[in-house]
Amino acid sequence: MFKQLWATKHPHAAHEDANGLSLRRTLGPWGLTALGIGAVIGGGIFVITGQAAANHAGPAIMLSFVLAAICCAFCAMAYAEFAAMVPVSGSAYTYTYATFGELSAWFIGWMLVLEYGVSASAVAVSWTGYFLSLLSHFDIHLPAALVSAPLDGQLRPTGAIANIPAAVLVLLLTWLCYVGISKSSAMNMAMVVLKTALILLVIVVGWKYVDPANWTPFIPDNEGPGKYGFDGVLRGAAMVFFAYIGFEAVSVAAQESHKPQRDMPIGMLLSLVICTVLYIAMAAVMTGLVPYQLLGTDEPVVTAVAAHPQLGWLRVVVEIGALIGLSSVVLVMVIAQPRIFMIMGRDGLLPPLFTKIHPKYRTPHINTVITGIGIALLAAVFPLDVLGELTSMGTLIAFAAVCAGVLILRRTQPDLPRPFRMPMAWLICSLGVLSCIALLTAMTAHNWMLMGFWTLGGFAIYFGYGYRHSRLRGN
């Protein structure tokens, strides 16, 4: 039994199995790049940037973004090699199945629920804050009990009923995903273009009011562990690393790409480069408009813009941009999560209903509805901090597994065709694994306790259903 738990699936077998799931191929390199940008640009640029600058890095938050991008690029290269070699939906789950075996694949698939499903809930909760801020301009104020979580960060009752706007947003985007990825991809492309244009507007207009004195000192003197100095820059990099989460969502759309071997690496790496440039430029403008100490708010971009009366009109633009940006992140995550479940169902680790494809829309419709309802419930009930920390941990574990998997497959399957072959794989992947481990060690004991409960729940499902229905061992 123990040996069977680590049975691996050959990459060619994963490809052949996927051919039986006839998803519609509608995505080219630009569609995949937009998918990546849509997943990445959201909470990071609208929330995390200000908090990391105010509490850790100061104006050197720009340097933090560079360091985080380099770390993230290690993982992107690993994802790109796997995605071109095994061009099927499933992301880190599929790659882990081919390298570490079934039990590890289930574990990583369960972590991906945190990265996609739970993170979609977290972003939807953030969306509510900007939505309420925009409504306040029209003197519209919704009852507090209907726009906040009934549980706090310690899971104690708050007296609220539910975060209704967050749940409604998720359900609307779930319907869009239900009717087809071509429609949702077109909507995502439109949202990406619009939110990128709005971000560029803030950068161009705001640059005229930047005071270079706010960038001095560029790296503030250290005031303790993780607070300013180079230590603060590194802590800031660890924080804004999570702003890049989402680029690998491109890999789960492999079966809906026209030419996955060519387009998947382009989509992931290009989206990462574009997002990095936008993040650095926005960070430069924000820290130049106001002293960095003032940016530790839930709406740092609004804080920076509101400090200049001449930019008052831009506040509404920023709020609209945030709503669009966060909506596109939720959309991409709602696209991605059902496709992870679909591949797990195909392997027998989840019930067959997760593999059902709609005869007209060619989407995993039942799976999408179940996922959407689950994400909506999480968004309605739990606060942002609980959702966000678990998301980060699940993502880092998945990233580390993919980097390690590239090295293992290079050794065990050296002759496999690799349309995209990562240069200096041993160095890049090793640095990727070490980067992820370093960030995981910064998590608190409370976070690890929650992760322990989450992991136990996942293994209960695997041994209760997946182990007995696994197609790999059944064959």
pLDDT tens figures, 222-261:
888 778 998 888 878 877 877 787 776 676 666 666 676 6
Average pLDDT over residues 84-112: 80
Under 8 Å CB-to-CB from 44, ≥6 apart: which residues?
240, 242, 243, 244, 279
Under 8 Å CB-to-CB from 172, ≥6 apart: which residues?
none
3-state secondary structure the chain: CCCHHHCCCCHHHHHHHHCCCCCCCCECHHHHHHHHHHHHCCHHHHHHHHHHHHHHHHHHHHHHHHHHHHHHHHHHHHHHHHHHHCCCCCHHHHHHHHHCCHHHHHHHHHHHHHHHHHHHHHHHHHHHHHHHHHHHCCCCCCCHHHECCCECCCCCECCCCCEHHHHHHHHHHHHHHHCCHHHHHHHHHHHHHHHHHHHHHHHHHHHCCCCHHHHCCCCCCCCCCCCCHHHHHHHHHHHHHHHHCCHHHHHHHHHHECCHHHHHHHHHHHHHHHHHHHHHHHHHHHHHHCCHHHHCCCCHHHHHHHCCHHHHHHHHHHHHHHHHHHHHHHHHHHHHHHHHHHHHHHCCCCCHHHHCCCCCCCCCHHHHHHHHHHHHHHHHHCCHHHHHHHHHHHHHHHHHHHHHHHHHHHHHCCCCCCCCCCCCHHHHHHHHHHHHHHHHCCCCHHHHHHHHHHHHHHHHHHHHHHHHHCHHHHC
pLDDT band, residue 436 (cuts 50/70/90)? confident
Nearest CA to 267 among 364, 180, 368, 189? 189
> How is domain 21-474 classified at the CATH fold level?
Amino acid/polyamine transporter I (1.20.1740)
Nearest CA to 235 among 67, 384, 70, 387? 67
Question: Is the pLDDT assigned to residue 63 strictly greater than 90?
Answer: yes
In this structure, are residues 348 and 471 in contact, taking their beta carbons and an 8 Å threshold?
A: yes
> What is the model's pLDDT at position 170?
95
Cα 246 to Cα 116: distance, rounded to the nearest angstrom: 8
Helix axes 29-40, 312-346, angle to 10 degrees: 110
> What is the model's pLDDT at position 462?
93
In this structure, are residues 269 and 250 in contact, taking their beta carbons and an 8 Å threshold?
A: no
Cα 306 to Cα 42: distance, rounded to the nearest angstrom: 20
Task: Establish whether the linkage from the previous residue to 217 is cis, with ω within 30° of 0.
Answer: yes
Cα 204 to Cα 193: distance, rounded to the nearest angstrom: 16
> What is the model's pLDDT at position 252?
60
What whole-number percentage of the chain has pLDDT above 90? Answer: 23
**Other CB atoms closer than 10 Å to residue 259's CB: what's the count?**
14
Cα 368 to Cα 177: distance, rounded to the nearest angstrom: 7
**Other CB atoms closer than 10 Å to residue 421's CB: what's the count?**
12
Cα 86 to Cα 109: distance, rounded to the nearest angstrom: 16
Model confidence, pTM = 0.77
Question: Is the pLDDT assigned to residue 18 strictly greater than 50?
Answer: no
> What is the model's pLDDT at position 182?
59
Under 8 Å CB-to-CB from 408, ≥6 apart: which residues?
99, 100
Single-letter code of the amino acid located at 332: V
> What is the model's pLDDT at position 188?
64
pLDDT band, residue 84 (cuts 50/70/90)? confident
Pick the more confident residue, 451 or 180: 451
In this structure, are residues 109 and 100 in contact, taking their beta carbons and an 8 Å threshold?
A: no
pLDDT band, residue 21 (cuts 50/70/90)? very low
- Two tokens, residue 165: 């706007």
Question: Is the pLDDT assigned to residue 291 strictly greater than 90?
Answer: yes
**End-to-end CA, the chain:** 15
- Report how far apart, in Å, the C-alpha atoms of 475 and of each of 7, 9, 347, 461, 471 are: 12, 11, 11, 21, 6
Cα 319 to Cα 85: distance, rounded to the nearest angstrom: 41
Cα 465 to Cα 460: distance, rounded to the nearest angstrom: 8
Q: For 117-160, what is each residue's pLDDT tens digit?
A: 888 888 888 888 889 888 988 899 999 999 988 987 777 888 89
> What is the model's pLDDT at position 381?
92
Single-letter code of the amino acid located at 422: M
Cα 436 to Cα 364: distance, rounded to the nearest angstrom: 32
